[in-house]
Amino acid sequence: MTAPNPFRSEYTLSPTPRSAGKLVVLIDFVGQTVTGNDWSTSGNYVTFRPYVLQSGTYNYGATQRMGTSKLKYACQHVSLIIPNTTTAVGIEMTAVGLSTGLAEDVNLRAHLVKETST
């Protein structure tokens, strides 16, 4: 089996978050395992997962598998945010073994839920 080869689609948030809080990331896209097994956990398959990147550190959401039919996929991830730090959000796809994947019409949304003083 070939080692996974992650591909990241990354978007930098602008402006940089000025407050501490939680960043809620919502991603939807049309995707498909073009060559490989359907919804597989072994052999040849494709996975995707959302992430938040701050200060060189990736914070990943749950990994999900893709099927061989072209479908609409969605994922969500919540990450704590360091204020005044450049932040990027994205989706990482990994093709395992002899597989290829497709993602198109990618839509990323993120909103900050600020921490409040009590």
Report the phi/psi class of residue 104: left, alpha or beta, with left for phi > 0 and alpha for psi in -120 to 50: beta
In tens, the pLDDT along 17-76 reads 888 899 999 999 999 999 888 887 778 889 999 999 998 899 999 999 999 999 999 999
In tens, the pLDDT along 59-112 reads 999 999 999 999 999 999 999 998 898 888 889 888 888 888 888 888 888 888
115 confidence band (pLDDT: 50, 70, 90):
confident
CATH of the domain at 109: 2.60.120
Q: Considering the chain, what percentage of its residues have pLDDT values greater than 70? A: 86
pLDDT at 75: 95
* pLDDT averaged over every residue in the chain: 85
- Domain extent, residue 60, equals 5-114
CA dihedral in degrees (47, 31, 99, 67; nearest 10)?
70
DSSP states along 30-85:
EEEEEES-TT-SSSSEEEEEEEEEETTEEEE---EE--SS-EEEEEEEEEEE-TTS
User: In the chain, how many domains are there?
Assistant: 1
**This prediction's pTM:** 0.83
2 confidence band (pLDDT: 50, 70, 90):
very low
Question: How far is the CA of 5 from the CAs of 8, 24, 48, 58, 81, in angstroms?
Answer: 10, 26, 12, 16, 28
